């Protein structure tokens, strides 16, 4: 369970088990131990929210996939996997974010038991600009049957959101994908388990 506290101050965060996580050394007070995909023990501090002014947004290539890296004015960097529900949710609200105002990121377990991600400004959750009810140009997911198995295909929707993300980067002084040696950690780069995301939150 995530600690009820805010993060701040020049650290690198990703999302694990519905909380923002920062890697720390073994023995750090309050640290949570988990095993990553390589079965290596890692120790992390857990937070409910991160806030600050956005000074830069970049799309970066990492060994775990493409990540949206959001840099805040205190040096904090929040990393969101592009293909995750959190990455898609952020992309859907980018056009409504005022770059001149403080942003608050919140992550928690929603009413359906799934992870929920909110972006707030001035205490109000920013609503999605693209939903199933009001797509605003976003393609629907398509059901396809392959080898007798029916699955949801998000390819067209994912490409739409990716292009939308690239168009918004300039507003935040961002850069397009690049290979680099910037800090990164294993995060949630999995897709939404082949199912359309729920839309019962105010974004």
Query: Is residue 152 in some structural domain?
Result: no
Q: How many domains does the chain have?
A: 1
Query: Is residue 195 in some structural domain?
Result: no
Give residue 181's pLDDT band: very low, low, confident or very high (50, 70, 90).
very low
Query: Is residue 169 in some structural domain?
Result: no
Residue 80 has pLDDT above 50, yes or no: yes
Query: Is residue 170 in some structural domain?
Result: no
Give residue 202's pLDDT.
Answer: 41
Structure letter (DSSP) for residue 115: E
- Taking a C-beta distance cutoff of 8 angstroms, is the pair 93, 99 a contact? no
- Taking a C-beta distance cutoff of 8 angstroms, is the pair 104, 89 a contact? no
Domain extent for 54? 6-127
SS3 109: strand
Query: Is residue 136 in some structural domain?
Result: no
- Taking a C-beta distance cutoff of 8 angstroms, is the pair 125, 28 a contact? no
Residue 57 has pLDDT above 80, yes or no: yes
Query: Is residue 68 in some structural domain?
Result: yes
Q: For the chain, what percent of residues have pLDDT higher than 70?
A: 81
Query: Is residue 76 in some structural domain?
Result: yes
Give residue 157's pLDDT band: very low, low, confident or very high (50, 70, 90).
very high
Q: What is the mean pLDDT of the chain?
A: 85
Query: Is residue 133 in some structural domain?
Result: no
């Amino acid at each position: 369970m995530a600690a009820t506290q805010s993060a701040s101050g020049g650290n690198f965060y990703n999302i694990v088990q519905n909380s923002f996580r920062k890697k720390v050394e073994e023995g750090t007070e309050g640290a949570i131990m988990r095993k990553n995909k390589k079965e290596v023990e890692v120790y992390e501090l857990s937070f409910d929210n991160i806030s600050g002014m956005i000074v830069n947004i970049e799309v970066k290539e990492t060994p775990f996939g493409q990540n949206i890296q959001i840099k805040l004015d205190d040096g904090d960097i929040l990393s969101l996997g592009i293909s995750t529900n959190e990455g898609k949710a952020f992309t859907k609200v980018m056009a409504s974010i005022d770059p001149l105002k403080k942003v608050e990121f919140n992550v928690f377990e929603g009413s359906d038991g799934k992870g929920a991600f909110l972006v707030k400004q001035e205490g109000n959750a920013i609503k999605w600009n693209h939903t199933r009810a009001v797509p605003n140009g976003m393609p629907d997911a398509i059901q396809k049957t392959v080898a007798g198995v029916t699955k949801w295909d998000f390819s067209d929707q994912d490409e739409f959101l990716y292009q939308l993300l690239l168009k918004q980067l300039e507003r935040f002084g961002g850069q397009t994908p690049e290979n680099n040696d910037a800090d990164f950690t294993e995060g949630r780069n999995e897709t939404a388990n082949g199912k359309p995301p729920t839309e019962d939150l105010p974004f």
